[in-house]
A and B are shown apart, each in its own frame.
Chain A
Amino acid sequence: MNALEAINLSKTYSDTDGFFLKNKKNIRAVNDISFTLKENQTLGIVGESGCGKSTLARMLVGLLEPSSGTINLQNKNIQQYQRQELGQVIQYVFQDPLSSLNPRKTIYQSLAAPLKYLHQQDNSLIKEKMLSVMGEVGLKEEFLDRYPHEFSGGQAQRIGIARALLADAKILILDEPVSALDVSIQSQVLNLLNDLKRKFNLSFIVISHDLAVVENISDEIAVMYFGDIVEHNSSKEIFQKPRHPYTELLVGSVPELNKQFADISNKNTELPDPANPPLGCSFYSRCSYGSEKCQNTKTPINSTKKLPFVSCFHPL
């Protein structure tokens, strides 16, 4: 079964110029994206800042409304869910663990919210359930009476994960789950996520700018550039044999031990203007393989959702 399905999803923000003169500009954030997330799988979405990955994440959990396209959660359209129902199906783990916790509430109060409002549990059961989940994510009972500022980043992220688990949702959207953490702590949290996925039959969408993080945790990876999915493939292959020139550039840019400088010094790194997107391939201006076709023809989108997919006329 599909845990989540996105069909031709787009989001444009409209921006009005001036107070009296309504000169509407459409800013493109996500552009005609389709993919599926199968049950018990992890889909990684990777891309650099401004590629639309956070907009996508917020649409998937219902915090933002898509401009067009459909989202199906467990084969049911997202719009048919009430707020309470939706929270029991899909949850979101925020990028900055500290700012996703109310600074004036104890951890107990923050963690009790999903049980109280999504599942109408009584107080007596709340604590029991909470302690069992806290045990799973490696939090101690004495943390319950503390306030968010008393925690380190790693602990706060575990609290965020515990809150998502308490909602009992089977689909989790993880937005940069470890980017606020030190390298030595990052994989502690990633390993925890992998264990939880197996244990509770979860499905994840992990959004990150960090290729290594996404590769580590995902079964499939989609690479986004300027609102488009430019390549979508299994995580085993995508960084080993990149097919899209942008994926190749990303892989080449990651600093690794004993690696020489990639010679990209003179290339353009600017994104196209989102209010005025290019006609053809959005990566054309930075690509060294481009042809006239790339400049003027719309690149393919993955309407059949088959893998591997690459949105390029001249794949590598």
Chain B
Amino acid sequence: MINFLKIVAKNRLAAFGGILLLIILTLSILAPILPLKEPNITNTADRFMVPFEGGHILGTDHLGRDLLSRLLWGTQLSLAVGFAAAFIAATFGSILGAIAGFYGQKTDNIIMRFIDMLMAFPYILLALAIVAALGPGLFNALIAVALVNIPFFARNIRGVTVTLANKEFIEAARLSGMSNLRILIVEIFPNLLPMIVIAMSTTVGWMILETAGLSFLGLGSQPPQADLGSMLGEARSALITNPHTSFVPGIMIFCIVIGINLFGDGVRDALDPRLKKGSLIRPLPQTIYEGGDTQPTPSTKLLSVQNLSTQFHVNQDVYQSSNDVSFEIQEGECLGLIGESGSGKSVTALSVTSLVASPPGVIKKGSVNYKNENLLALPYEKLRSIRGNKISYIFQDPLTTLHPLHTIGDQLLEALQAHDSKLSISESISKSKDLLKSVQIPNPDNVWDVYPHQLSGGMRQRVCIAMALINNPELIIADEPTTALDVTVQAQILNILNSLRKERKLSILFISHDFGVISQLCDRVIVMYAGSIVEEGPVKNIIQQAAHPYTSELIKCVPQLGNKEHALHSIPGNPPSLNQLPEGCAFANRCQYKQDQCLKGSVPVSSKDNRSYKCFYPVGGTA
């Protein structure tokens, strides 16, 4: 709870709204014990006194009643009615919405059509009709306001419930023998609660306004009882002659609503899980680089990554995702980068063109040498001309990489013209279609006018490869491009990548968790574990005899089909968290060759010929 308030308070406007609201609430709650004059005693002799006249701090109204006293008592009443209406609307609306969403089908149809009917009336008209039927009075106004707000809650909560009802944990609850009603109460309701609170916090202000509106029209609180709406209503006739009688309740309404809305937005932001993860914070177009003007060591290779360290700062934790990583890629070479989830392989690949989401990502040090320039320190405009042009990416899930609302053709054209605006449209089209053919899409003309969701996963990934190739890149970074695909499709995509690289002399940085895939496609491989490179060398040699125990274990994990006795291999234990990396070798606690030396200090990198490894006791001696 304290943590939650701290998050809300971080948002300055929300803190301001919260404080404003707290002051108003305290004052109105304290109204009975504050030394106030009686709110309803009329004294026509003192009518329309201006503020500070005759001991009336805010003056008096048309019947000579003390405005300050009426204001505080009235605020108390308005707040109570507003909150009560919000609470009633939230309760009934949420129950209806949850039932409709959970049971679905006919129940859903009946409830939601009824809700739609309620919504079809202009709300003020509906409220007026209800008050007309039940008679004027604050309680009836409360019922009317609550009723007209039920649809808002019902619709919101129904939507959330429908998504929840199809979640696997609900099916698991069913299989545990729970009845439907129990599932609704025990499993679904706790997940709805934040949504209900969010919806309430944003609507209370609006309900107070609606109640005030009804009172203003004389349908809510009846004289002599004061609430903010009726005070405003009574002051209306004296608006020109004695404006202070209108300003006093008016300003109060303004303060309450602005306070509630600002605070409510803060509550919403703090409760929304997407915001907690920071996904609504727009990341910078380029990762923050703290390496200053580090000059990369000159290199004859196409790309040379030198001592790259990328971190993520989340709350107080620092996640060391890539730790002093160095490697080079030659022209026409396919370099494999292998590691398990959380080993830092994707972060390393994204760091090359500063694509790591920032904040929270920061490139602490290191450099990426491409044509004698440090890519990490390039100004944004210059970097943009390289990204997607000379260095392009292929990602794991083609459905999320492609824009769902544009046709394949439009997206290819856009990718092409973003970097080469001189090309004419007809030239661009024929170039794009040729590319689609070269990634073995059987009928480019048909695919051209189609939207991504109309293609199969394998076809989509081909489109992504075509898009990556469209500006004749020198380097393609492929981040698990076949992991989401079926094996037969994977085999085809690997084939396509392999023949393209031979035809075009492309360099590929191929990221994968599967040594089988890497061994088919790549010339050299880098093995990453817990953010560091632990071994590097030609794929063939490493498969023959790995030096690092982790590599050796990882190779054993590749299955061999048709040999049931060759059981699947596993590595005992789990990899360390990137925010709590141990001293010494990160793999030591899972390693069968571990010695005392492995647990302290840092492990040096040993190199011999074209291979290197980071281990004191390599498998098979010195490799």
- Footprint of B on A, CB under 8 Å? 48-49, 61, 63, 83-84, 87-88, 91-92, 94-96, 99-105, 110, 113-114, 117-118, 152, 154, 160, 163, 167, 182-188, 190-191, 209, 211-213, 215-216, 235-236, 239-240, 249-271
Contacts and interface: CB of A to CB of B under 8 A. Distances in A.
Nearest to B498: A261
Contacts of B557: 183-184, 186-187
Interface string B564-577: 10011111101000
B340 A182 contact: yes
Nearest to B577: A152
Query: Which of B172, B442, B489, B558 has the most CB atoms of chain A within a 10 A radius of its CB?
Result: B172
B491 A262 contact: yes
Interface of B is mostly: helix
Given A83-B174, A187-B567, A102 B187 contact: yes
Contacts of A260: 520
Interface residues of B, number: 62
B175 A87 contact: yes
Contacts of A185: 570-571, 574
B568 A184 contact: no
A99 B169 CA distance: 6
B562 interface: yes
Nearest to B488: A253
Given A113-B176, A186-B570, A251 B190 contact: no
B198 interface: no
A270 B488 CA distance: 10
Given A182-B340, A264-B491, A48 B176 contact: no
A83 B173 CA distance: 11
A268 B513 CA distance: 27
B440 A265 contact: yes
A184 B495 contact: no
Interface string B146-182: 0000000000000000000001110111111111001
Contacts of B553: 184
Contacts, number: 194
Nearest to A268: B442
A188 B489 contact: no
A49 B554 CA distance: 27
B385 to A, nearest CB: 34
Interface in B39-83: none
Contacts of B514: 183, 255
Interface in B252-279: none
Contacts of B175: 61, 63, 87, 91-92, 114, 167
B487 interface: yes
Contact of B168 (A96, A154, A235, A257): A96
Query: Which of A96, A118, A183 has the most CB atoms of chain B within a 10 A radius of its CB?
Result: A183
A240 B570 CA distance: 23
Contact of B177 (A84, A100, A160, A183): A84
A63 B174 contact: yes
A261 B171 contact: no
Contacts of A268: 442
Contacts of A252: 491
Given A48-B487, A265-B492, A269-B458, A257 B515 contact: yes
Nearest to B168: A100
